[in-house]
Amino acid sequence: MIRWALPLAGVTALALAAGFRSSAPVTVVIGGNSSGVLSPCGCTAPMSGGIKRKAQYVRSLGPRAMYLESGAQIRGTARQDVIKAETLSEAFASMGARAVAIGPTEFAAGAGLVLTMNNLSKGAVLSSDGTFGAPSGVRDLGELEVVVAGPADASLPPATDKPRVILFDGGLSEAKSSAAAKSQPALIVFQSQGDPVEEPTVENGVTYVSPGDKGRMLISLTLDGRTVGSFQRITLGPEVPDDPQVKRLYQTYLSRITTEDLLGKTLRTSNAAFVGSKACASCHGITYQKWKTTKHADAYHSIEAVGHGRDPDCVSCHVVGVTSTKGFLSRAKTPGLANVGCENCHGAGRNHAKNPKKFKLSKGGERTCLSCHTPENSPNFAFQEYWKRIQHR
């Protein structure tokens, strides 16, 4: 068994009215709400999450652990979302997932994708309408039963003599007032944004937990009958190594989006004319030389080096004008628009370069930076501190 030091938070033992007890406590590991995030962005370090680290942690626990994945798996219906769903499904199979919740987002992408996800996950897919599972989305896993439910479900099947875990498609307040909470579950897994809470919520004999969002963390706990114990939040940081099998699946994912040229097929909604940072040098020489010393000037190479040079999710914040017909196309076709340049902050500059007095450019500012330096991509971004690194006039 592979072991490493993990930063754990909120380790708790919860004593609930037992009601009944299984022969031995069951370890349950819960991930989910990935929303199409297969890997941490990597723009800053350290960052948490990703299916490669998740697989390594789950695999290290051995086959006795019950791994459950709550929804949503993807966040759209575009071609890249479909490829992500297929890759996630293969990864879940590799990790031995016992149940993978899907919902409206996955169904919106089409019945064909749902069937494919079920096949690739080796039959692990479970939905609230009962598709691919027993009636009403219930699956008997031997030592416990798993139910997928949402706020709209008016009722659930009666409780059995096994502890019930509900993967709930909604937030905590909705879960508390839902039919799911009235079906005597031991545990309800709800959806939330940000990190999981450090302590579970216990109300009317039901324990409520969430793995957070974007697959950055896992929840681990034990079920002994209806007694929930040993609650842990598992941070999937860089100290958790990549799983070799899922790493290969991820490389195949990158190859597929590159081969299908999804970046080239990106909808371009603007005709703004870009010229590249070098065109600014004749009038703004000192500023241009300053820019060349910053990480912005090598921003595109930073994602090329890890295989994301043609990934639509990443490229827009590492080049100039990807949403314009006259913006970045590829390093070969538009080399001057690779990397983060002057026009990312100040706007398309072709007209300004031709007639600076007539066509003024924006001064940019914090709001411009925050369009790419989001909490997801740059969790420790602080404008005043970062601005010092690139400050110019």
Pair (97, 218) in one structural domain: yes
Pair (238, 91) in one structural domain: yes
CB 58 within 8 A of CB 2: no
Pair (55, 107) in one structural domain: yes
- What span, in angstroms and rounded, lies between the C-alpha atoms of 65 and 131? 25
CB 31 within 8 A of CB 54: yes
Reply yes or no: is the peptide bond before residue 101 cis, omega within 30 of 0: no
Residue 261 lies in a domain: no
**CA terminus-to-terminus distance, the chain:** 56
- Backbone angle region of 37, left / alpha / beta, with phi > 0 → left and psi within -120 to 50 → alpha: beta
By residue range, what is the domain housing residue 68?
Answer: 8-250
Q: Is 294 helix (H, G, I), strand (E, B) or coil?
A: coil
Residue 260 lies in a domain: no
CB 163 within 8 A of CB 188: no
Full pLDDT tens readout for the chain, 393 residues: 333 444 434 433 343 333 344 468 999 999 999 999 999 887 667 789 999 999 999 999 998 899 999 999 999 999 999 999 999 999 999 999 999 999 999 999 999 999 999 999 999 999 988 888 777 789 999 999 999 999 999 889 888 889 999 999 999 999 999 999 999 899 999 999 988 888 999 999 999 999 999 999 999 999 998 899 999 999 999 999 999 999 999 999 999 999 999 999 999 999 999 999 999 999 999 999 999 999 999 999 999 998 999 999 999 999 999 999 999 999 999 999 999 999 999 999 999 999 999 999 998 889 999 999 988 888 888 999 989 889 887
Pair (198, 305) in one structural domain: no
Does pTM top 0.85 for this prediction?
yes
- Which residue, 4, 15, 28, 1, is CA-closest to 219? 28
Pair (172, 99) in one structural domain: yes
Residue 3 lies in a domain: no
Residue 2 lies in a domain: no
Residue 257 lies in a domain: no
Residue 263 lies in a domain: no
* pLDDT attached to residue 377: 83
Pair (202, 238) in one structural domain: yes
- What span, in angstroms and rounded, lies between the C-alpha atoms of 393 and 91? 49
Q: Which amino acid is located at 66 in the chain?
A: M
Pair (221, 281) in one structural domain: no
- What span, in angstroms and rounded, lies between the C-alpha atoms of 141 and 123? 13
Pair (40, 119) in one structural domain: yes
